[in-house]
């Protein structure tokens, strides 16, 4: 059974959740930890001879230490790169939190030191007209790893997300500051200082901008900028 399980979310879509998750997995690998990961829903999948495949889910598959089939890592694969609930409607499928919880519980039964479950978009992304993705970690009672992109507006988005997580009865176990865009943020040190003082959880790392590193090698390159000890001390 997975010893530690965390749900990875972001303040918005496109903030680098998968790269951060993969970097955490690589950091754990370097410490001799056995790791698992899953992305229960992935939209924006491409067709392959094996079926629909998502680049983020494939990156997670390469970053874990244990051997898992793609369909276990990404049980709900959707074609259009749009909001999951809309992509599901277009595909004639119905998403429910309970079904996703079942997938996640099945993964938790596997032996590992660390399991990361990556969400989609931000904390309140809809699954259907009644449920948001937040219902999944809430039902599982999972601590959360929050990815914050260092760009204009990130303080507001980060604090609102932290408040929503707390309102749902969950805790932020740690957060990672990421640079998903090449532009340099104005007043970045002041922003980091504010976030560090006001997010009630340890900062696991500030990831630098990637330059000249392939997507496959990026998680390994970024792993050295992380301190994942808090994830195993809790």
Specify the 3-state DSSP secondary structure of 150. coil
Q: Residue 165: pLDDT above 90? A: yes
Q: Rounded to the nearest 10 degrees, how much is the dihedral formed by the CA atoms of 22, 28, 29, 32?
A: -170
pLDDT value at position 133?
97
Long-range CB contact pairs, 97-106, < 8 A, 24+ = 97/127, 97/131, 97/133, 97/135, 97/136, 97/139, 98/139, 100/40, 100/41, 100/76, 100/127, 100/136, 101/136, 101/139, 101/140, 103/38, 103/40, 103/75, 103/76, 104/38, 104/40, 104/136, 104/140, 105/140
Structurally, the chain folds into a number of domains equal to 1
Closest by CA to 56, choosing from 34, 32, 78, is: 78
Instruction: Please state whether beta strands 51-53 and 76-77 pair in parallel, antiparallel, or not at all (unpaired).
Output: unpaired
pLDDT score for 184: 83
Q: What is the pLDDT of residue 59?
A: 97
- Mean pLDDT of the region 105-131: 96
Establish how many alpha carbons lie within 13 A of residue 120's alpha carbon, considering only the half-sphere containing its beta carbon.
29
> What is the distance between the alpha carbons of residues 15 and 36, in angstroms, rounded to a whole number?
22
- Taking only the tens place, the pLDDT of each residue in 43-67 is 999 999 999 999 999 999 999 999 9
Structure tokens at 57: 């889910």
Q: What is the SS3 assignment for 49?
A: coil
CATH number, domain at 63?
Answer: 3.40.50.300
User: DSSP label at 184?
Assistant: P
In whole angstroms, what is the distance from residue 5 CA to residue 189 CA?
Answer: 31
Residues in the chain: 234
Q: Which domain holds residue 144?
A: 2-233
Q: Which residues contact 67 (CB under 8 A, 6 or more apart)?
A: none
Would you state the pLDDT for residue 234?
74
Catalytic residue of the set 4, 17, 33, 39? 39
Q: From CA 106, how far away is CA 72, in angstroms rounded?
A: 9
Contact 6, 113 (CB under 8 A): no
Cα separation, 101 vs 135, whole angstroms: 9
**pTM score, two decimals?**
0.96
- Tell how far CA 167 is from the center of its chain: 20
- 199-215: pLDDT as tens digits: 999 999 999 987 777 77
Pair type for strands 35-38 and 112-122? parallel
pLDDT over threshold 80, residue 20: yes
Active site residue 33: no
């Amino acid at each position: 059974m997975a010893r530690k399980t965390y749900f990875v979310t972001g303040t918005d879509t496109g903030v680098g959740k998968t790269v951060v998750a993969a970097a955490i997995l690589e950091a754990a690998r370097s410490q001799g930890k056995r790791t698992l990961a899953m992305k229960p829903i992935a939209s924006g999948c491409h067709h392959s001879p094996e079926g629909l495949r998502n680049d983020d889910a494939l990156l997670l598959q390469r970053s874990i230490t244990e051997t898992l089939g793609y369909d276990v890592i990404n049980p709900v694969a959707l074609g259009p790169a749009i909001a999951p609930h809309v992509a599901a409607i277009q595909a004639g499928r119905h998403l429910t939190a309970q079904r996703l919880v079942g997938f996640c519980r099945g993964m938790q039964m596997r032996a590992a030191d660390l399991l990361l479950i990556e969400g989609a978009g931000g904390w309140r992304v809809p699954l259907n007209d009644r449920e948001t993705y937040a219902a999944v970690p809430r039902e599982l009672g999972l601590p959360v790893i929050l990815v914050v992109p260092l760009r204009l507006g990130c303080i507001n988005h980060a604090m609102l997300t932290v408040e929503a997580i707390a309102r749902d009865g969950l805790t932020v176990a740690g957060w990672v500051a990421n640079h998903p865009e090449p532009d340099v943020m104005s007043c970045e040190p002041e922003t980091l200082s504010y976030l560090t003082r006001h997010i009630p959880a340890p900062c696991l790392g500030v990831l630098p901008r990637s330059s000249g590193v392939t997507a496959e090698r990026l998680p390994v390159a970024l792993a050295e900028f992380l301190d994942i000890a808090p994830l195993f001390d809790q």
